[in-house]
Chain A
Amino acid sequence: MLRNAVNGLENLLMNEIPAGSVILVNGAEGTLKSGLVFSMLSNHITVTGEHGLYISLEQTKWSHLQNMNSLRIKKVDGLHIFDYQDMRKEWIDRELDFSTMTEEVIDFYKNKYDNLKVFALDSLNALYSISDDAHLRKKMYHFFLSLREEGLTSFLIMESPHQGYQHNSLNGINQNVFSPTVPLSSAWLK
C-alpha cells in the first residue's frame, strides 16, 4: 500500500514495500525527501488506519508541520511527530545517546498504539552529527536491526551532498541492513 501512497511512486517501485523493511531515502538538498516520506506516511495512514511515528532530529515538530503545510501535505491524527528540541536544550551539558533514546521513543509509541506500523527518521545525517559516541557504528547497526525486529516499515532520510552521490557516509555500516534505497533527484521529482 505504501507503493501507492504517492502518485507516481508505483512507477519507481516494482513491488509493494514488504512490511518491516528499512528503507533509505537518499537525495541532495531540496529534493523533498522529508515531504515525500511525510506524504507517504500520511496517505498510508489515511487508507489503513494504522499509526505512524515521524522523528525529526533537525527541526521542531512545529517547524516541520509548517514546512509540510506549505507543501500542502496534511498531517493525519494517526501520525505522531516527535522532536528532540526540549531534550537537547535541557540536557545541553550532558552527552545524550540518541540512538538508544530513539529506540525508547519508538517503544513508547508502539506500546501506546498497538497498530503503529510505519516509522520515519529525519535525518540520519543529524543523528550522526549530534551523536558523540565512540561506539556509534555498532550502536547504529543495532538500531537498524532493532527497527526490523520491531516489524516497523521504516524510512531513514539521508541527505547527500550532490545528486548521484550514494550513501557513502554511513560510517561503514553494512548496507545489507537496508531493504531498497530510494535515491531522489530533482529530475525524478519533475
Chain B
Amino acid sequence: MNRSIDKVPELCESQEDYCKKFIERIIKTNREVFILSCLLEKQMCGYDLIKDIFTKCDVFLSQGTVYPILYTLEEEGLLIAEYSRGDMRSKKYSLTPRGREVAERDIEEFANALEQTSSLIKR
C-alpha cells in the first residue's frame, strides 16, 4: 500500500484521536479510581474534581456521574465532607485514613491491570 508523505500528519492526528478515545473510555469506566487519585493530592469539591480531571486528562466527567460517587464513598466511610470556612457554596471532600488505604490499593491494582493488559496485547 502506497502512503503519500502528505498523509502522515493526517495519520498521526487520527492515531492521536484514537488514543484519546481509548483514554477517555478507560477514565470514564474507572471514574472512581481517578477521583480517589485526585483526592490523594488534596481535598476537593465535585466542581474541582471535574475541572482537575478535565485539565489533566482532557476528559469531561459529567456531574451526574461524579456526585453519586462522592456521596456513596462518603456513606461508605471512605470520604469526609466539610464546608470550607466562609464558603458554604462548595463541600470539600477528603479521604479518611481507610479511604486513603483503599485509594492507594485501588490505584496500584488499576495500574497493574493496565500494565498486564498492555503486555497481553503487545506481540
Residues of A within 8 A of B (CB): 82, 86-87, 89-92, 96, 100-105, 108-109, 112
Tell whether, in the assembled complex, residue B89 and residue A87 are in contact, meaning their CB atoms are under 8 Å apart.
no
Q: A82-B68, A90-B90, A112-B72 are in contact. Are A104 and B62 (CB under 8 A)?
A: yes
**Contacting residue for B89 out of A90, A102, A104, CB 8 A:** A90
Since A90-B90, A101-B62, A103-B64 are in contact, a sample of 10 more A-B pairs with Cβ atoms closer than 8 Å, ordered by chain A residue number, is A82-B68, A86-B46, A86-B90, A89-B88, A90-B47, A90-B89, A96-B63, A100-B64, A108-B68, A108-B69
Q: What residues of B have a CB within 8 angstroms of the CB of A109 in the complex?
A: 68
- Inter-chain CA distance A112–B88, complex, in Å, is 30
State whether A91 touches B47 (Cβ < 8 A).
Answer: yes
B73 to chain A, nearest CB (A): 11
Complex alpha-carbon distance, A46 and B54, angstroms: 41
Do A105 and B45 touch across chains, with their CB atoms under 8 A apart? no
Counting CB contacts under 8 A, is B67 at the interface?
Answer: yes
Query: A82–B72 Cα gap in the complex (Å)?
Result: 10
Q: Is B71's beta carbon under 8 Å from chain A?
A: yes
B interface residues, Cβ below 8 angstroms from A: 45-47, 62-65, 67-69, 71-72, 88-91
Q: How far is the CA of A104 from the CA of B64 in the complex (A)?
A: 5
Please give, as numbers and ranges, the residues of chain A lying within 8 Å of B71 by CB-CB distance.
82
| Consensus secondary structure, chain A interface | helix
A101-B62 Cα distance, complex, nearest whole Å: 8
- Given known A-B contacts A86-B45, A100-B64, A92 and B69 have beta carbons under 8 A apart: no
A102 close to B45 (CB less than 8 A): no
Docked Cα-Cα span, A108 to B32, in Å, equals 11
B46 touches A87 (CB 8 A): yes
How far is B89's CA from A91's CA once the two chains are assembled, in angstroms? 10
7 of the cross-chain contacts (CB-CB < 8 Å) are A87-B46, A89-B90, A90-B45, A90-B89, A91-B63, A96-B63, A101-B63
Q: How far is the CA of A92 from the CA of B46 in the complex (A)?
A: 13
Top 3 closest pairs, chain A to chain B, by CB: A104-B64, A101-B64, A90-B47
Assess whether A86 is in contact with B72, with CB atoms less than 8 Å apart. Answer: no
Q: Would A104 and B65 be within 8 Å (CB), given that A86-B45, A87-B46, A90-B46 are in contact?
A: yes
